Amino acid sequence: MKTRSAISAGIVVIVLLSVLITLSSSDTTPENKIRIAYFPNIGHAIPIVGIEKGFFEESIGNQTKIETRVFDSGPQAIESLFANSIDLAYVGPGPAINGFLNSDNHNVKILAGAASGGASFIVHPNSEINSVSDFAGKKIATPQIGNTQDVSLRHYLSENGLKSAEKGGSVIVYNISNPDIYTLFVKGDIDGAWVPEPWATILETELGGKRLFHEEELWPNKEFASVLLIANTDYVEKNPIIIANFLQSHHETVTWINTNPVETRIVFNDFLNSYLGQSLSDDVVDIALSNIVITADPLHNSIFSFAERADALGYLGRNGYDLSEIFFNFDVNSIVEEST
């Protein structure tokens, strides 16, 4: 497994109490539950392990009930945040940015990172794609329009003088779910796919696909935020102690995953069995996990770079955007004062 120190551990783990406690007024009553959303993907190992191993429950305490929602896409999670159906969500940078920009008073913000990397371009074994120069006229799939992989693909095309067919270019882009990408790959109806783990490894190992490149190879320092922890800040401000404990557990879970890759695989497969009624092979999970960096570092610069790419593609509206407050900031110095 790739490992790296969580550069922002001090930013977010210590992250806590002061400003949150300051923001919590005396007449607010803390919720007795916290509602968390995540996806059934290996990139969401933190919430899966944190829930399945009971780490979150132990940290938060038995007076607060944890409710979970498993979604298939970021927009679903964002809609639930807007509807006040969930409090926290693990999503990609695309949904995180759109959630921040489109929420009332920008009350959807990033609390921490959850994963870096973990996406690849996989070529169908019968397709003659050896480099980007072979993309013209090909059919390429990504999970969803405007999602992380879709933005990355379309930016990559633009950087290499190509356009999608709907923009007058020659590359046919399909925006479909990961299971549907798998089906089209089996049928040979697509030439390639830009997908997250474990789907990239599934297409490679089970269907004979060729991994043309890992997406992190295209980013500075070979790292970019692929999964983030975001929150409804109204909940955060009203429940500082719950969030403080949750974030501590979030960071501790990062450490546990990075030091227990085999057990992480077992936990993940057990989760898939209980949620989907089936699991993946040990090799697929091990390879997929090795292609992801599990980290609490939100990799700030990659968020701003991703927004620039999404904006250039017209995904952030016509009136410009401002991400200056997208990260929920904490007064670290006050933490010590509050705890003494």
User: Do 24 and 98 fall within a single domain?
Assistant: yes
What total of structural domains would you count in the chain?
2
At 56-100, the pLDDT tens digits run 999 999 889 999 999 888 888 999 999 999 999 999 999 999 999
Does residue 291 contact residue 199 with C-beta atoms inside 8 Å?
no
**Can you tell me the mean pLDDT for 195-211?**
97
Q: How far apart are CA 139 and CA 299, in angstroms?
A: 32
d(CA 27, CA 32): 16
Q: Say if residue 214 is in the same domain as residue 246.
A: no
What confidence tier does 337 reach under pLDDT thresholds 50, 70, 90?
A: very low
Pairing of strands 192-196, 119-123: antiparallel
Whether the ω angle into residue 75 lies within 30 degrees of 0, i.e. cis, is no
Rounded Cα–Cα distance for residues 16 and 336 (Å): 10
pLDDT digits (tens, 9 = 90+) for 97-147: 999 999 989 999 999 999 999 999 999 999 999 999 999 999 999 998 888
Is residue 219 over pLDDT 80?
yes
Whether 203 and 249 share a structural domain: no
CATH number at residue 255: 3.40.190.10
279 has a pLDDT exceeding 70: yes
- Give pLDDT tens digits for 294-304: 999 999 999 99
Q: Looking at the structure, tell me whether residues 315 and 182 fall in a common domain.
A: no
Residue that terminates a domain, selected from 201, 221, 241: 221
Using DSSP bridges, classify how beta strands 192-196 and 139-142 pair: parallel, antiparallel or unpaired.
parallel
- Sheet (strand 225-232) strand order: 65-70, 33-38, 88-91, 225-232, 108-117, 292-293
> How wide is the angle at C-alpha 212 spanned by C-alphas 209 and 218, nearest 5°?
145
Domain that holds residue 150: 119-221
